[in-house]
Amino acid sequence: MQYRHSSGVDLGSTCCGSPRHRSRRTFLTIAALGAGAAMVAPLTTGAARAAQPAGEVDALLLSCMDYRLIDDIGRYMDGRGLTNRYDHVILAGASLGALTDQKKAWGEAFWDHVAVAKQLHRIRRVMVMDHRDCGAYRVFLKTDVAADPDRETAVHADQLRALGAAIKARHPDLEVELLLMALDGSVESIAESA
């Protein structure tokens, strides 16, 4: 069976159900057509982007780098209606990463990102999301708080509140939201004050 792209390019024939390309040129043509479609698709199908005023997002999210939760973080933000409506900064340990004296440059980078997000995207709030069983907490605090869930919550809450207070002190016009994610992707809010 012969296949042709809508542009008239011969895409080759099939053998045993898989396409066979006749030449490197055909392959490169197909690849270019696919890349072109990928570049145009966000422009034509991005309903969320079309509804968003240019240059504005709702929030800046600070989260941890833990690979186990990257997809869960995206799902959480999508579920909150924030798809394509937030900037994302990632530091190991999230709130602790922004506050630790062991990595002063990380804190400076966080504050720079907040300032740039305000200037470029007119953010209205900062969301800080720590997570349970955080390896960065073990590294920086030299102890494993994950074994005791109540203690773990208290330690994260202390760091989250400290960063939340610092955000409010530097940027009183921004709302602050403090969050703690479990390894199953569920998220609990942490009150700004105990």
Model pTM above 0.75 = no
Which domains can be identified in the chain, with CATH numbers? 2-45 (no CATH), 52-190 (3.40.1050.10)
> How far apart are alpha carbons 87 and 114 in whole angstroms?
9
Block mean pLDDT (10 aa), the chain, length 194: 48 44 50 47 46 74 97 97 96 97 97 97 97 96 94 97 98 98 97 84
Going by C-alpha positions, the residue among 6, 121, 113, 5 that lies closest to residue 63 is 113
Dump the DSSP string for 86-131: EEEEE-TTTHHHHH-GGGHHHHHHHHHHHHHHHHHH---EEEEEEE
